Amino acid sequence: MYVSEQEVRAVLTYETLIPAIRQALIDYSAGLVDQPPRIIQRAGNAEGAKNGWFAVMPVIAGDVMAVKTVTFYPANDESGLPTHMAIVELLRRVTGEPLALMDGRLITEMRTAAVSAVALNALAAPDVHSLGILGSGVQARSHLEALRLVRPSLKDIRIWSRTAVNAERLAAESGGRAVPISEAAAADVVLTVTSSAVPVLQGRWLASHALVLAVGATGSTLRELDDEAMLSSYVVAESESAVERESGDVRLSGAKVGAEIGNILSRAVDVPAGGRIVFKSVGMAIEDLTAARLVWQARKSIGNSSNLQ
């Protein structure tokens, strides 16, 4: 079974994905997921920031296995192509049979936003109302949908982008406001979804109670947050080992991971009361498997219904 992006879009919803991702993160931190480090190679197609990368991400969990191959080409924006493209293969664990091959671009987009939504619900105060977004691309849009789903109280949407026209466009689409970066960074919840290689978020702008969802700048030499933002915050990771290996925000600042989100969700660890929190995600194969399994089950159900008619 090959599942196109259009078919993925028709069946994958945040209403089903967010709770499934929540359980997957708990299972990961409980040691129920077999997930080796991803293999990443530079494509060598260009010099500097335009150099793409290619990654392979295998995982085994529950009754299925999966492997995602994903590429990231930052310069694709210039030619109107997605910067991220991916394929996910899902296999039956007990026999090794391939179950489905599916386009992984939308899966990657949605599972990333779903992880942030889970973290927001677990880590933010009940009364948060302002959301500052640094970035205006695909992830900014997907996160807006997912974050608003779990916290409808987020009414004050502040958007900053290096390209002002892009911030204005997203603000018009979302009912938000295009603002200076310092105003976006002063919100209750701050989402960083840029492709910056150097810090754009300065700790001096953050509120004392801020929750930062740090999503962009995946790479051991790339950063979105400066030292003050990292070192003045309690750091929660999607995966402690993955973040310590792949996040420049953590590696280059010297910040220490306080807890994994899965252990917070299962109540094995409590977050210190008060103060800033940074949730850093780099993306994990278990999240792709979780989304792909939902797609496969939905497509299988559609097929069975068709056969009965």
| pLDDT surpassing 80 at residue 308 | no
> Do 33 and 64 belong together in one domain?
yes
Angle at 58 between CA 56 and CA 64, to 5 degrees: 145
Would strands 84-92 and 98-103 be described as parallel, antiparallel, or unpaired? Answer: antiparallel
> Do 190 and 296 belong together in one domain?
no
> Do 259 and 304 belong together in one domain?
no
Q: What is the pLDDT of residues 8-38, one digit of tens each?
A: 999 999 999 999 999 999 999 999 999 999 9
In a domain, 117, yes or no: no
In a domain, 227, yes or no: yes
* Predicted pLDDT of residue 274: 85
In a domain, 113, yes or no: no
> Do 88 and 131 belong together in one domain?
no
> Do 247 and 129 belong together in one domain?
yes
156's tokens: 């004050």
CATH number at residue 64: 3.30.1780.10
* Predicted pLDDT of residue 304: 61
Would strands 84-92 and 64-72 be described as parallel, antiparallel, or unpaired? Answer: antiparallel
| pLDDT surpassing 70 at residue 6 | yes
HSE (side-chain half, CA atoms, 13 Å) at 94 = 2
- Please count the structural domains in the chain: 2
Average pLDDT over residues 64-80: 91
> Do 189 and 83 belong together in one domain?
no
In a domain, 264, yes or no: yes
In a domain, 151, yes or no: yes
* Predicted pLDDT of residue 79: 84
Q: What is the mean pLDDT of the chain?
A: 94
Binned at pLDDT 50, 70 and 90, residue 74 comes out as: confident
In a domain, 181, yes or no: yes
CATH number at residue 138: 3.40.50.720
How far out from the chain centre does Cα 237 lie? 12
* Predicted pLDDT of residue 286: 98
In a domain, 119, yes or no: no
3-state helix/strand/coil string of the chain? CEECHHHHHHHCCHHHHHHHHHHHHHHHHCCCCECCCCEEEECCCCCHHHCCEEEEEEEEECCEEEEEEEEECHHHHHHCCCCEEEEEEEEECCCCCEEEEEECHHHHHHHHHHHHHHHHHHHCCCCCCEEEEECCCHHHHHHHHHHHHHCCCCCEEEEECCCHHHHHHHHHHHCCEECCHHHHHCCCEEEECCCCCCCCECHHHCCCCCEEEECCCCECCCCCECHHHHHCEEEEECCHHHHHHHEHHHHCCCCCEEEEHHHHHCCCCCCCCCCEEEEECCCCHHHHHHHHHHHHHHHHHHHHHHHHC
* Predicted pLDDT of residue 196: 86
Helices 285-308 and 14-29 sit at what angle, rounded to 10 degrees? 130
**Residue for token digits 């007990």?**
94
Average pLDDT over residues 123-132: 95
The overall pTM is greater than 0.85: yes
- Alpha-carbon span 85 to 197, nearest angstrom: 20
- Alpha-carbon span 304 to 298, nearest angstrom: 10
> Do 180 and 74 belong together in one domain?
no
| pLDDT surpassing 80 at residue 309 | no
> Do 98 and 197 belong together in one domain?
no
Average pLDDT over residues 116-144: 96
> Do 129 and 273 belong together in one domain?
yes
Q: What is the pLDDT of residues 208-266, one digit of tens each?
A: 999 999 999 878 888 999 999 999 999 999 999 999 999 999 999 999 999 999 999 99
> Do 46 and 12 belong together in one domain?
yes
> Do 87 and 178 belong together in one domain?
no
Percent of all residues in the chain with a pLDDT value above 90, rounded to a whole number: 84
Q: What is the pLDDT of residues 155-210, one digit of tens each?
A: 999 999 999 999 999 999 999 999 999 999 999 999 999 988 899 999 999 999 99
Using an 8 Å Cβ cutoff, are 215 and 238 in contact? no
* Predicted pLDDT of residue 307: 42
In a domain, 210, yes or no: yes
Paired strand residues for 280: 214, 237
Domain that holds residue 146: 125-283
